[in-house]
Amino acid sequence: MKNKVLLFIILLYSTLAFSQQKVTWEDLSNVKYTEKYFHNYDEYFKYPTFLPSVMDLEGKQIKITGYFFNIAPEQGVYILSKTPMSSCFFCGQGEPNTVIELQCEETPNFKTDAIVSVTGKLRLNSDDVEHFNFIIENCIVELTN
């Protein structure tokens, strides 16, 4: 009996340790922005302050659904967006928290605007203007039916 209880606890822990948390775009909206000057670029950028609910997601395995952008596949540049390309952040239609940089383990082969689910580790970025505020590392991209 003791072994069965121990086995149950180990299985429960391993399931919880490797499961991902389903995240919505609304969950990522809890960010305040201020203009901050970056000397290296001689420009002002929107500087994020992540609120506690977003900070709690840092380093967690998450799953989120959105529109896939195949920006520069030869350079490994892929983006997940809350909205299709025609109305995305780059067209002036939203805040930086409506796009996520994807750092994929394997090269995804989807067309722009395909609706996909992405699973991976969320990293928050506030200081490196070469990258997005949200980055999903080691992600796996799957077509959503």
Q: Do the domain assignments include residue 127? A: yes
Kindly report the CATH number assigned to the domain that includes residue 29: 2.40.50.870
Cα separation of 74 and 6, whole Å? Answer: 49
Q: Do the domain assignments include residue 99? A: yes
58-70 pLDDT tens trace: 999 999 999 999 9
Q: Do the domain assignments include residue 8? A: no
The pTM for the full model equals: 0.82
Q: Do the domain assignments include residue 13? A: no
Strands 21-22 and 61-72: parallel
- Domain holding 52, by residue range, is 20-143
Q: Do the domain assignments include residue 12? A: no
Q: Do the domain assignments include residue 6? A: no
Distances in whole angstroms, Cα of residue 28 to Cα of each of 12, 43, 61, 99, 107: 28, 25, 14, 10, 25
pLDDT band at 105 (very low <50, low <70, confident <90, very high): confident
Domain count, the chain: 1
Q: Do the domain assignments include residue 108? A: yes
Q: Do the domain assignments include residue 61? A: yes
19-58 pLDDT tens trace: 679 999 999 999 999 999 999 999 999 899 999 999 999 9
